[in-house]
Structure formats: C-alpha cells, structure tokens
Amino acid sequence: MESLISTFHLDVKLIIAQLFNFAVVALVLWFFALKPLLKVMSERTKTIEKSLADAKKIEDRLVKTEAEKKQIIDATKKEAANILDETNKKAEANKKEMVEKAKDEIEKLIAKGKYQISSDKEKMLVEVKAELADLVVDATKKVLGESLTKEVDRKVVEEAVKKIR
C-alpha cells in the first residue's frame, strides 16, 4: 500500500480532509437542499395524485350526469308527445262538438223557418179564404141579382171553401 501511495503521490491527510469536507458538504446539501426538495416533490406527487383522483371522480359524475340528462330529455319528449296527442284529441272533440252545435243551430233555424213559412201560409190561406168568400158573395149577387140571406151566404161560402181545399 505504501508503494501505491508513493506511486500516485497520495497524501492520506489530504484524502481524510477531503472525505471530511465531502461529508460536511453532503450533510449540508442533504439538510438544506435535498431534504426540502424531496419534501416538495413528495407534496407535488400527492397533489398530482389527488388531482387525478378528482378528475376521475369528475369524469364519472359527468358520465352519470350525461346519462341523467338523456333520460330527462327522453322523458320530456315522451311527455311532450303525450301532451300533443291529448291536445289533438281535445281539439278534435271540440271540433266535433262545434259541428254538432252548428248542426243543431241550423236545424233550429230550419225548423223556425218552416214554422214561419207554415204560419205565413196559414195566414195567407185565411186571407185568401176571406177574399174568396167576399168574391163568391159578390159573384153570387151579380149572378142572382140580389142579396141572399146571411145564412145562405155563409153556406155558399163554406161550400166554396171546402171545394177549394
């Protein structure tokens, strides 16, 4: 070993001093640089892992929310279709009801018109009969040249009226 030291010109005291200096620098670096750096790196790793876990939870919630959204939209579409069908049915029922009311109104107007026509016809017949009776009486007076008794006049008028009917 002595030959090795003399060949390479090694100084043992210098090597021990350098080892001591290295140990001091290593301890200083360990406590003031490496240990805080490891602590920061550890905290950063934990933060990243927590962020990844939160991102996974958010993604799961997003998928669940999308599924719920789709279900709600489907349910809303079905409800809208049901409401539309119900509205169409009500509109159809209202239409039928209005048509029926209109038909009833028309029938009432027609019946009223027929009644009015019938009433007018009867009035006209009464007037025509009265005029006809006067005409028959006048014609009979002219033919016979004289006036008959009221009873004979009435019989003649009634017979003429019966023949006209």
Residue 135 is predicted with a pLDDT of 79
Q: Are 125 and 164 in contact (CB under 8 A)?
A: no
Q: Is a pLDDT exceeding 80 seen at residue 6?
A: no
Q: State yes or no: pLDDT of 7 exceeds 80.
A: no
What pLDDT is attached to residue 148?
A: 56
pLDDT at 57 (0 to 100): 97
Say what the pLDDT of residue 112 is: 94
- First vs last C-alpha separation in the chain: 169
pLDDT reported for residue 132 = 79
pLDDT of residue 145: 55
C-alpha span between 25 and 96 (Å, rounded) = 102
State the chain's mean pLDDT as an integer: 88
Reading the block at residue 44, the tokens are 């950063």
pTM for this entry: 0.42
- What is the b/e burial string over 76-92, where b = at least 16 CB atoms within 10 angstroms of the residue's CB? eeeeeeeeeeeeeeeee
Neighbour tally for 122: CB within 10 Å: 10
| Weakest mean pLDDT among 13-17, 70-74, 129-133, 152-156 | 152-156
Give the pLDDT confidence score for residue 137 in this predicted structure.
73
Q: Residue 165: pLDDT above 70?
A: no
- Residue 143: partners with Cβ closer than 8 Å, 6 or more residues away: none
